[in-house]
Structure 1
Amino acid sequence: MAEAQPLEQEIFLSLQRTIDAPVDQVYSAWTDPELMRKWFAPGELKVARAVAEVEVGGTFLVEMHGTDGESHLTRGVYREVIPNRRLVHTWQWEGSDIESLVTVEFEPGSPSTTQLTLTHSRFADSEARDRHEGGWNGCLLKLSALFPGQEIRSAATS
């Protein structure tokens, strides 16, 4: 579990959302490839392929395509899976040697809401973090569209 916590000197981002849906539905949006295809790409990008073998050692993969044909593929390995509570997986863009870490925590709110905390850590530099922050914000906007009535709240980035 310690590997999922960012170290003080690490460059990371942390985003929080309160989502107007029960934890099991929000968790499914992160673990069901069909649902992932609906939101796991920012802006005009579309998810062409999603793989979620949601078990420790299982594959995580998202391939996004842009309107001009560009392709972006990220993959990783699930490091920790606690159903409806926590997902931790590595994150590595195709063609890159840098592997970062994504931790998603799901906390029940009231009534029938989910407190979602996404932490993306182990960035090589602040520029990479900033690019990912924009991407994650775009993805989370699409995720919110799956659950009407979402209240958006952002947290600090370091």
Structure 2
Amino acid sequence: MQESAGNEIERMVVTRIYDAPRELVWKAWTDPKYVMQWWGPKGFTAPVCKMDFRVGGRLLCCMRAPDGQEFWNASEYHEIVVHEKIVSSMYFSDAEGNKIDPAELGIEHEAIDGAYDVTLFEDLGNGQTRLTFIGNEPLESAKNSGQMEGWIQILDKLAEVLAGLVQAQ
């Protein structure tokens, strides 16, 4: 495990600036009908997304790989500051949302004990928003397992969804 000064583990951080107002980025991130359009890396689809978006609520999404294999993810929401921040714990699950060990799926995933995923939404003005996703996985592990590249592709797909929403306004 990679450690930086102060013995803190360097976490995976992915940042993207969108040409969309913060409220629209928030909507695309928190409305299941939009999440289904961007959830999962390039080539993956999301045929199911259920969301109880409130503190203590849960998210359950299915990622379908190009070969048809399905991977389920669930999250529990711990903190929500509307249009600003979401703190959640994401994990691999079965179709009912029960937590499963990623190794059962042949996936390497090293979570940092006690760390949550944090998504930040920053209004940059001029209709631009910076979205920052801070994962619960160490940076080096995220790079080696493909999680980092996966999140970059997910945020690229989100850009496509947002472009459509901006154009529809």
TM-score (norm 1): 0.80
Unaligned stretches of 5+ residues in structure 1: 1-6, 149-158
Q: Which residue does 2:27 correspond to in 1?
A: 28
Contact 1:11 1:129 in 2 (8 A): no
- Percent identical among aligned pairs is 23
- Pairwise CA distance, 1:66: 1.4
Q: Which residue does 2:81 correspond to in 1?
A: 82
Matched, 1:126 2:125: no
| Equivalent AA in structure 1 for residue 141 of structure 2 | E
Among candidates 122, 139, 156, match of residue 154 of structure 2:
139
Q: Separation in 2 of the partners of 1:92 and 1:65? A: 16
| Equivalent AA in structure 2 for residue 83 of structure 1 | V
TM-score (norm 2): 0.75
Q: Separation in 2 of the partners of 1:24 and 1:71? A: 31
Q: What pairs up with 1:6-155 in 2 under 5 angstroms?
A: 9-94=8-93, 95-96=100-101, 101-123=116-138, 126-130=140-144, 131-148=146-163
Structure number with greater CO (CA < 8 Å, separation at least 6) is 1
Unaligned stretches of 5+ residues in structure 2: 1-5, 94-99, 103-109, 164-169
- Pairwise CA distance, 1:93: 1.0
Structure whose CA Rg is larger: 2
Q: Separation in 1 of the partners of 2:156 and 2:57? A: 27
Contact 1:21 1:147 in 2 (8 A): yes
| Equivalent AA in structure 2 for residue 146 of structure 1 | V
Q: Separation in 2 of the partners of 1:143 and 1:41? A: 10
- Pairwise CA distance, 1:128: 4.2
Count of aligned pairs: 142
| Equivalent AA in structure 2 for residue 64 of structure 1 | M
The 3 A distance-change label for structure 1 pair 72 and 25 is same
- Which runs of 4 or more aligned residues in structure 1 lie more than 2 Å from their structure 2 counterparts after TM superposition? 7-11, 97-101, 125-130
Q: Separation in 2 of the partners of 1:128 and 1:107? A: 24
State the superposition RMSD in angstroms. Answer: 2.2
- Pairwise CA distance, 1:137: 0.5
- Pairwise CA distance, 1:9: 2.5
